[in-house]
Amino acid sequence: MKDNLGLIVLANADILGGRVQVHLNNIRKNSKDYRIAIENSRFANGEGKIKLLESVRGKDLYIISDVGNYSTEYSLHGKMRSMGPDEHFSDIKRVIAATSSHAKSISLIMPLLYQSRQHKRKGRESLDCALALQELQYLGVKNLVTFDAHDPSIDNAVPRMDFQNFYPTDIILNTMLQNEGDDMDNFMVISPDMGALERARYYADMIGSDLGFFYKRRDLSRVVDGKNPIIEHTYLGGDLHGKNVAIVDDMIASGGSIIDVAHEAKKRGANKVYLVATFSLFTEGVGVIKDAYRNGYFDKLYTTNLSYIPKEVKIEPWYNEVDCSLKIARIIDSLNRDESLQPLHDEGKQAIKRLHL
């Protein structure tokens, strides 16, 4: 088979893309650099452009982008500005526009799905995630690969584009097993709210533990920062006294809600509390979670490298990184070889069997 794989790694995912490159070499037993050089420049008014620095004709292209990387900056009217998801998504479209008439196929690896929390309408609202996916479909994207989409049924918006939603659950749990060992024998999985209950149940199935959840009672008469404020966390489930608890969710935004749940678990007698999230965004900075650790509300955080993590977090004693770059490399390799992705989806189910042996 002719090796026509090309990798375009945007600056917002350069570390993750570099690891994927190394894994591709190991998988394919070669030393070829699959990364294609691009030039990403901006005018002083903030408008940008993408220029390819080498040919992509006849290649199966795989674009890797982290739309949540707020450490990427550019100059706007003489001032440095941190890039937001909207700007990262525009750069993705620029890459596609620069390559679409030459590449054999275009696949997008977007671990943090753009606008995934705006996946359905509540009243007179925009439907951003569906619109973005339809735009990618229109631009000619053949495959879209994401992780732990807030609502996987959003793929119904793009019936003509292959939408692959992977879960890093088995990778997270294997990392925890390596690090925590016997602590996971006396374990319990907690969902921080009703929305994360199915995800928590999946974790509980994998390790054969009991499951509990908290119900967020909100003040529906007020809106603060775009949301109804939480009045009380009501717990439903088994006794937490002496248990090691994992509180699992797809993402930690400001961190306030999951920390409140961690505090409630500690007050109910939990021994160790682990926060587990696919994405840790820290949208209000890391001060809140640092304070929570100092106050003894939780013991460790397990989160993936699928989206940007600040350097100041990576040196904290409670931070544990779960590396998903090998999974991405295997997905890319399988897509390029036209192989089924089902075995990669089924690895979580296989992990359940291994953990119960």
Length of the chain: 357
Please tell me whether residue 252 adopts helix, strand or coil conformation: strand
* pLDDT for the residue numbered 357: 46
CA distance 328 to 1: 21
Handedness of CA 254, 256, 257, 259 (dihedral sign): positive
* pLDDT for the residue numbered 327: 97
* pLDDT for the residue numbered 348: 66
* pLDDT for the residue numbered 349: 60
List average pLDDT for each run of 10 residues in the chain, which is 357 residues long. 89 97 97 96 89 95 97 87 94 94 95 88 85 96 95 91 95 91 85 85 88 80 71 84 94 90 94 96 91 96 96 95 98 96 82 49
Interacting residues of 273 by C-beta distance below 8 A, sequence separation 6+: 244, 245, 247, 262, 265, 266, 297, 298, 299
Which residue segments constitute the domains of the chain, with CATH numbers given?
Answer: 5-166+324-343 (3.40.50.2020), 169-322 (3.40.50.2020)
* pLDDT for the residue numbered 226: 65
* pLDDT for the residue numbered 1: 55
| DSSP state letter for 316 | S
The residue type at 183: D
- The alpha-carbon radius of gyration of the chain (Å, integer) is 21
Task: Phi first, then psi: give them for residue 305, nearest 5 degrees.
Answer: -95, 25
Strand order in the sheet with 143-147: 5-9, 60-64, 105-109, 143-147, 162-166
